[in-house]
């Protein structure tokens, strides 16, 4: 069973700061997902990575397959980025995902 | 845009009651999921359905059953609710049953069992 660890658990930043959230996993994977959950809200998929790097607006996600590690970066953070960010991994042709516990990000104005 | 809706945002039930949580998706997805989310734990899969009337147990199926009579609707049933089933329940759907595919989540139902 894959073990997924996210760090930090909680992160507080000032508006405009560069944010990094980390995800490590223990077993080789086919896919890594970054998800966003706003307070009281549902979950939205941000990225799916199997290698390399993806960028969408101010969000950048990278993955290092050899080191079993991924990072989610937020440039020029804004209070509306405040949310829980969740990493999830899956392997092979199986549909199952293993989820991290999430990182609570608070961006203060 | 895919839309996944859940019947209630908040629900309060008594111990021993039968509880139905409903989920509907509008994108003709074959695959639907029920998860629960608890503080300090990641999302955990309760049940998965890959077609009408077809289901697979997830990691924590005990105390739950499911029903999928129509492609767009996936119901989670708590036969006799207990206090340890107090949780946030999230439904999701996907086009393909592989880990590389995006899962689309509903808004969640926060269930409290008294």
Pairing of strands B87-94, A83-90: unpaired
Given CB atoms, is A45 within the 8 Å cutoff of chain B? yes
pLDDT by residue (tens digit) across A47-78? Answer: 999 999 999 999 999 999 999 999 999 999 99
* Chain B residues closer than 8 Å to A86 by CB: 42-43
Regarding beta strands A19-25 and A43-49, do their DSSP bridges make them parallel or antiparallel, or are they unpaired? unpaired
CB-based contact (8 Å) between A9 and chain B?
no
Question: How far, CA to CA in Å, does A32 sit from each of A21, B10, B92?
Answer: 14, 31, 17
Contacts of A41 in chain B (CB under 8 A): 107-108
Q: Does A1 touch chain B (CB under 8 A)?
A: no
Interface of B with A (CB under 8 A): 4, 31, 40-45, 48, 58, 90, 92, 94, 97-108
Asked, as a colleague might, if the bond just before A46 is cis with ω within 30 of 0, I would say no
Q: In this predicted structure, what is the pLDDT of residue A42?
A: 87
Assess A95–B contact: CB distance below 8 Å, yes or no.
yes
Query: How does pLDDT run along chain A (109 residues), one tens digit per residue?
Result: 889 999 999 999 999 999 999 999 998 888 999 999 998 778 999 999 999 999 999 999 999 999 999 999 999 999 999 999 999 999 877 899 999 999 999 999 9
Evaluate whether B32 touches B25 at the Cβ level (below 8 Å): yes
CA–CA separation, B105 vs A44, rounded Å?
7
Place B37 in a pLDDT band, splitting at 50, 70 and 90. very high
pLDDT at B2 over 90: no
As a whole-number percent, the residues of chain B with pLDDT over 70 amount to 98
């Amino acid at each position: 069973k894959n073990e997924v660890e996210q760090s930090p658990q909680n992160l507080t930043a000032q508006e405009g700061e560069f944010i990094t959230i980390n995800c490590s996993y223990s077993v080789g994977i086919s896919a890594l997902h970054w998800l966003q959950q706003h307070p009281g809200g549902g979950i939205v998929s941000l990225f799916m990575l199997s290698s390399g790097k993806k960028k969408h607006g101010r969000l950048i996600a990278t993955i290092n397959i050899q080191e079993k590690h991924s990072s989610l970066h937020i440039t020029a953070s804004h209070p509306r980025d405040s949310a829980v960010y969740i990493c999830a991994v899956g392997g092979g042709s199986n549909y199952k995902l293993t989820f991290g516990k999430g990182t609570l990000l608070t961006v203060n104005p | 845009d895919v839309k996944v809706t859940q019947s209630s945002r908040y629900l309060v039930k008594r111990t021993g009651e039968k509880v139905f949580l409903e989920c509907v998706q509008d994108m003709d997805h074959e695959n639907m999921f029920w998860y629960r989310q608890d503080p300090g734990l990641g999302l955990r899969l309760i049940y998965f359905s890959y077609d009408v009337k077809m289901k697979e147990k997830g990691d924590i199926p005990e105390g739950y059953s499911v029903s999928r009579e129509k492609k767009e609707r996936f119901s989670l049933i708590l036969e006799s609710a207990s206090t340890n089933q107090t949780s946030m329940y999230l439904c999701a759907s996907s086009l393909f049953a592989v880990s590389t595919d995006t899962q689309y989540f509903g808004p969640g139902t926060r269930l409290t069992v008294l």
